[in-house]
Amino acid sequence: MVKRFHIILISLLLIIAGYLVIEISRGRGQTYPITIVDIDSASRPEIGKLLRIVAATRPEIIGMDFFLVQDSLHRDTLLARAISEFKHTVQVVALHRFNAEFYIWDSLEVSHPKFRPGGVGFANIFLKDSVLVNAVPMQQIWNDSIIPPFGLAVAKKTGRVSAKYAEGGFEDMEFPVDRIGNNYNRLSIAQIFSGDFRKVDLEGKIVLLGYLGPKEDTYYIDEKRSRRASGVEIHAAILEEALATPQ
């Protein structure tokens, strides 16, 4: 009887060990403060469903790194409701046509007014010779409004922004390129829909919804042009830089 119990116990331990190996091999053995969810080519109803599932896990902030400019009528209902129900959201806007004489931007691209996020930040990424510049202004001006970069706007929403970035200003905020792609959890929309994720990767986390992968919105991040990163990964690096380091 004792021998049988030991066999059962050892079998259970082996099962648990195997599960842990699988989790670690999936890159899910640890968790970071920031989680990126790849929305891929999801429709607006699908993004609405995704946002509701994520919101139900009680994340700290949801950052939406995508535009919703056109009115898709009834197809927008679920998404508009999901955004209005979860108050702690930040969405991207885009600045266009910089006026160097007055240091302002002439126009602002925003999502349709039916979508009402809790805050906004500019999505503009700055390049030199088609390579990412690892610095972004802490604020820009459009129509007398001061707009921070998306990553900084998300950090400010948490209330834990680093003291050196809290006041804003027109100085550049530098962020480390070598961290891009490293210090965040990564989930796909398919994992969210199937339930194949750990709640700990969403609950209390800063969750960014955006496009990952080579399809669009990617930029060279090194002088040799050997590495590319998506816009949402770059925004995550800016966000990480903006957050105060825990003491």
pLDDT at 2: 52
Rg of the chain over Cα atoms, rounded to whole angstroms, equals: 21
| Cβ–Cβ < 8 Å for 210, 230 | yes
Encoded amino acid at 172, one letter: D
In angstroms, rounded to a whole number, what is the distance separating the alpha carbons of residues 233 and 140?
21
The HSE-up count of residue 70 (CA atoms within 13 Å, CB side) is 5
pLDDT at 181: 83
The HSE-up count of residue 72 (CA atoms within 13 Å, CB side) is 15
Can you give the pLDDT of all 247 residues of the chain as single tens digits?
555 545 554 555 444 444 444 444 444 557 799 999 999 999 999 999 999 999 999 999 999 999 999 999 999 999 999 999 999 999 999 999 999 999 999 999 999 999 999 999 999 999 999 999 999 999 999 999 999 999 999 999 999 999 999 888 889 999 989 889 888 999 999 999 999 999 999 999 999 999 997 767 899 999 999 999 999 999 999 999 999 876 4
Q: For residues 178-202, b (16+ Cβ closer than 10 Å) or e, as one string?
A: eebbeebbbbbbebbeeeebeeebb
**Residue 61 to residues 15, 24, 27, 36, 65: CA-CA distances in angstroms?**
35, 26, 23, 12, 13
User: CA torsion sign, 185 to 190 to 196 to 202?
Assistant: positive
Read off the tokens for 54: 């994520």
pLDDT at 24: 42
**Shortest CA distance to 95 belongs to which of 150, 132, 44, 133?**
150
In angstroms, rounded to a whole number, what is the distance separating the alpha carbons of residues 130 and 132?
7
- Residue 87's Cβ-count burial label (10 Å; 0-12, 13-18, 19+) is exposed
State CA 37 to chain mean position distance.
7
In angstroms, rounded to a whole number, what is the distance separating the alpha carbons of residues 209 and 187?
10
Beta strands in the chain (DSSP E): 34-38, 61-64, 89-99, 104-109, 120-122, 127-128, 131-132, 135-137, 140-142, 145-147, 172-174, 185-188, 206-210, 218-220, 228-230
Predicted TM-score (pTM) of the model is 0.86
